[in-house]
Chain A
Amino acid sequence: MNVLVDPAALERDAVIYGHESKSLLRFIACGSVDHGKSSLLGRLLFDAGLVLDDQIETLRKDTGQFTGAVEDLDFSLLFDGLAAEREQKITIDLAYRFFATETRKFIVADAPGHEQYTRNMATGASTADLALILINAQSGLTQQTRRHALIAATLGVRHLVVAVNKMDIAGYAQDVFETIEREFRTFAERLGNVELTFIPVSAKKGDNVVYRSKAMDWYRGPTLLQKLETVDVTPRAAHQAFRMAVQWVSRPTPDFRGYCGMIAGGQVRPGMEIVVQPSGQRTRIDQIITANGALDRASVGQSVTLTLTDNVDVSRGDLIAEASAPAQVSGRLDARIFWMGAGTLAPGGRYHIKLGTASAAAVIAGPMQLIDLAEDAAVKPVDRLMSNEFGTCRLELDRPLAADSYEANRETGSFILIDAETHDTVAMGLIEKPATAAVTAPIRTSILGHVTVRAARLLGANESHSRSIAKAMSWRATGSIDTFVISWVITGNTAIAGSIAITEIITKIALYYFHERAWALIPWGKR
């Protein structure tokens, strides 16, 4: 018997399937104050048919525009989220917006334009694939425009879309647009490997946002929405070596031991040889476990649970990496830093570092440089970074961690610094290179691995060796004078007192040094 299928139902399922299998684009929208960013986003949503009737009602209430065409509403008001922002008519904090078309879901990080909010822009750019940069056609490139482009490129955003807005006020003039494009291209030579797209738009009138502009027939490129819907979203780390930071060790039963994490690079298969870092133990992947069954392959962006063929020692904070292309293990990192704390960042400062799922203590070491975003990233030696400044420095860790350069992998090449007292997140770090240190060679057996890690900790503890030696000597000088005086009082003989004190100087300097280094290994009682 034939089964009759309702054609409407089939079509319906196709629609649902289409929505389920959409791709995802994360982008950041940035622009100087008054360049019309909120208006452009509002226009994009409105023309794409994504502003709902009750939102329009609210908008009419907020603007007092109870009559007139919907197109003339101030769409920027869709986005001012906090009461203080509405009162002051500015955007204070980074906001996330969502919209979806037939082919893609978009997560938009909406970053305010004010200079002091660089931290928001950097945060938003850290996960973005594309940056939408707004330029007012009348004012052209500003210092803030350059700053935004530099931050986006630094954080690994590969696609920059430059929307030249308010073209309606500029008389839709091709030469205005082309002058800005030329100027931006010259500036962008320093941005490295980024794809540039320039679109002349009018947020107010809707030109080239969703609909192609009739007033600018000289422009042949994509509209803004076309560009957003077609840009390549393959994660860069898909082509990198396999990496997964262990988040959580799953032990539901005594005989099961699984390592949970989100894959940060490349892909993994059962049987693949891996190295657990920083310990350096090597083994193979046994199974890739998910609630939907075991997989024969998993790749970047998936949250999985891995089991290993050997019973090796793995805990939260360890990195599981492809054995043929491991990460660097180092107790010393050279990094670029976005300093977001209220005070200054200076050598000697101590922080908690979170790198992947690993935590450690970090001390800032020199030399320090400022990368001046207000002067097109000019590099200047400095002795500290002020709030919202960007620069480079070296970090000494209290234990070696596995890391890649940010260039190679955004997830394993980035970290945050946490203030030990306020517990605030005070810095974003991009690793330039993990400095070559004591343990880069993988060690095969686990016992040796532990010994090596211990030794590395001893060598790379929080304090420098010269400091430990200086402390030993100053302590000894004070102590030996005391010993001499006591010995003299008891024996009444300066010669005996003198020789006791001198012998003690030599033996105890050595003792103190080892005592001090041994304590440096013990986390107990540290704050």
Chain B
Amino acid sequence: MNDATLTTASSTHSYLDQLEAESIHIMRETVAECDKVVMLYSIGKDSSVLLHLAMKAFYPGKPPFPLLHVDTTWKFREMIEFRDRRARELGLDLMVHINQDGVTRGIGPITHGSELHTDVMKTQGLRQALDLHGFDAAIGGARRDEDKSRAKERIFSFRNAHHRWDPKRQRPEPWRLFNAHKRKGESIRVFPLSNWTELDVWLYIHRENIPVVPLYFAKPRPVVKRGETLVMVDDDRLPLAPGEVPEMRNVRFRTLGCYPLTGAIDSDAASTEDIIRETLDSRYSERRDRVIDQDGSASMERKKQEGYF
């Protein structure tokens, strides 16, 4: 195999091919080294890419783990429709967990604020679901470019029995050698998209023709302007101020979450190509549109230490 013309072919893998191969490698390592694996499916674009990679990683078989969605009951309606349709189409085992304690207490983003709502319905809901089923590894779609504290998080990231993250006690990850040995009570969060950026995700969605929730594409939607944030009126639970009337604006979303906590942007981008162009030209990072990240400068790091994904 010393044919030079053959060996040069190897350098032609594009960076997307390399990111894809690395993510597939990470998923296979997780399944091989852990006992009970689950994939967290949040319905957003990163989850769509993660699911696509999982389908590829275990082809011709199906991914050997279920999907878990922690439903806060405040997701956009289109997200829930999309979630159920994708699970059906791909024939995957989808588990939905809602923190019933939070529902009983009537916790919501409008009545209790974004911080308490996220903590109870998302962070605690996730912990309940993982404990309930005894999962020792949860694959998630977080990326290092999302937040400063994420930039230092490992691909195999450990949580203690109380699901806390200790940034000072992280294991080095040289080469592609991941250490999945757990101490008693520990579980692992695995992030196969660690080295992807928002632009990479969109380029890959475009290249692979991956279905995403239609909310990412611009179309006229009813919104109200609250401060600098455009909030979509997705159902009648959003209280309107006296005299406040939803207006139809051509908007789309860069990230998806609970609808009262997710800001829309004015946009005409109606296709993945348009979105890529918009992302290339953008002067703002995507997290700016998320209300929860603006709670405090070190808010993501603190949430993560408390067990937020």
Which chain A residues have a beta carbon within 8 Å of chain B's beta carbons?
A: 12-13, 15-16, 19-24, 52-55, 58, 62, 79-84, 86, 92-98, 100, 104-105, 107, 119-120, 122-123, 126-127, 233-235, 238-239, 241-242, 247-248, 250-252, 256, 258, 260-262, 266-267, 289-292, 297, 299-303, 305, 316, 322, 340, 352, 354, 357, 410-411, 414-416, 418, 422-425, 428
Contacts and interface: CB of A to CB of B under 8 A. Distances in A.
B171 A425 contact: yes
Interface residues of B, number: 72
A300 B62 CA distance: 25
A302 B13 contact: yes
Interface string B160-195: 000000011011111111010111000000000011
A351 to B, nearest CB: 11
8 contacts: A12-B277, A23-B14, A82-B301, A256-B60, A357-B29, A423-B182, A425-B172, A428-B172
A453 B200 CA distance: 45
Given A252-B62, A303-B57, A260 B28 contact: yes
A303 B28 contact: yes
A373 to B, nearest CB: 17
Given A100-B199, A303-B21, A418-B181, 4 more contacts: A54-B283, A54-B284, A238-B7, A303-B24
Given A12-B277, A299-B9, A415 B285 contact: no
B55 A291 contact: yes
Contacts of B18: 24, 301
A214 to B, nearest CB: 28
B137 to A, nearest CB: 14
A24 B200 CA distance: 12
A53 B15 CA distance: 27
B88 interface: no
Contact of A22 (B10, B11, B14): B14
Interface of B: 1, 6-11, 13-22, 24-25, 28-29, 31-32, 55-62, 144-145, 148-149, 151-152, 167-168, 170-177, 179, 181-183, 194-195, 197, 199-200, 203, 206-207, 273, 276-277, 280, 282-285, 288, 297-298, 301-302
Main secondary structure of the interface of A (DSSP, over half): mixed
Contacts of B197: 98, 100
Nearest to B150: A81
B260 to A, nearest CB: 21
Contacts of B10: 234-235, 238, 267, 299-301
Contact of A423 (B55, B62, B183, B206): B183
Contacts of A301: 10, 13, 17-18, 21
Consensus secondary structure, chain B interface: helix
Contacts, number: 205
Contacts of B181: 352, 418, 423
A323 to B, nearest CB: 11
A237 B131 CA distance: 43
B207 A234 contact: no
Nearest 4 Cβ contacts at the A-B interface: A252-B61, A299-B10, A24-B15, A423-B181
A119 B14 contact: no
A291 B195 contact: no
A292 B282 CA distance: 32
Contacts of B277: 12, 15
A247 B203 contact: no
A267 B62 contact: no
B170 to A, nearest CB: 7
A213 to B, nearest CB: 28
A152 B216 CA distance: 43
A411 B175 contact: yes
B151 A12 contact: no
Contacts of A97: 151
A411 B152 contact: no
B177 A252 contact: no
A8 B170 CA distance: 48
A233 B31 CA distance: 31
A247 B195 contact: no
